[in-house]
Copies of this chain bind each other. A is one copy, B any other.
């Protein structure tokens, strides 16, 4: 199997956490990784830890795009950035997919620069998993939400393609045969939400898609849908709010525990429950978010990624490659009605 290119310099805990995550992968699995970044420094980190040298290559890149840099400008200026060098390993077919925990906007802008869109795709989307209640046994505890920030506003045809791409990806990763796709809207009435009603109608007319209609804000955390479609502005705010609220639930119990001995006693008893809440707050680290629509797959790991999050993201990338996720997305887009070219601006 071809290797996964890993941007070793991206993320708050890079390069240490990234190298450690890849070292872990090299011992646990047959997945081969190419670490891209400051090669002498990466070599030095590797020398201090256990890893399988047969599964790790290093490729030097002299620049780094910081987490707070303006994405388009950075991608334009820093041609030797580890993020872009990793992408070029993929576009030249030396690697099969890439992982980065760096600047999200730069990962999207870099993809637009280094990769072609799948024929027929109007614009790429960033998809993120989020935790929700399962409504039947064995259901994946995570649903896919897209777009969460590659776009701002979307036309109905964009939202339709997000549904098609998200369903194809979920089929590969979650092994759900017919993922339930829903449109995030302010009511169940198909006519609701202005131009969203056109997206509703078009999604409903696709024979290959299991479209279950509109989903409202209060249903996002239910098991009603496996793939939730919305424009980037809305998805970004929903995702970040979910992260904050999950974190707040943990803080609420933790701060109360510090304040009051009875709470402390309660907390000890409730350890299992607290772990559940923590897991909820940590979900962002689970697996990473795919950027869908390009001819090559980018897995965007959370900027706060630990070694474990990087390990998960690389495993997801390898699984997506093995199961032909990009080809599945391309096939699904090809089977859906051809869409007119996109005119509106992006992020």
Contact = CB atoms under 8 A, between A and B. Distances in A.
Contacts of A273: 252-253, 256, 263, 266
A233 interface: yes
A265 B270 CA distance: 9
B276 A194 contact: no
Nearest to A197: B152
Given A152-B194, A238-B238, A186 B232 contact: yes
Interface residues of A, number: 53
Contacts of A196: 152, 233
Interface stretch (A23-31, A113-121, A240-248): A240-248
Instruction: List the 10 closest pairs (A to B, CB-CB), nearest first.
Output: A217-B240, A217-B237, A266-B269, A218-B244, A217-B241, A218-B240, A186-B236, A266-B270, A152-B194, A266-B266
A202 interface: no
Given A252-B273, A269-B265, A273-B263, A217 B194 contact: no
Nearest to A189: B70
B240 A216 contact: yes
A152 B195 CA distance: 9
A234 B248 CA distance: 21
Given A194-B152, A252-B276, A269-B266, A186 B237 contact: yes
A184 interface: yes
A339 interface: no
A194 B269 contact: no
B232 A218 contact: no
A217 to B, nearest CB: 3
A134 interface: no
Nearest to A132: B248
A246 to B, nearest CB: 8
A345 interface: yes
Interface in A45-99: 70
A281 B239 CA distance: 20
Nearest to A217: B240
A16 to B, nearest CB: 25
A190 interface: no
Interface string A260-282: 10110111011011001100000
Most buried by B among A232, A245, A252: A245
A153 interface: yes
A220 interface: yes
Given A263-B270, A265-B269, A221 B245 contact: yes
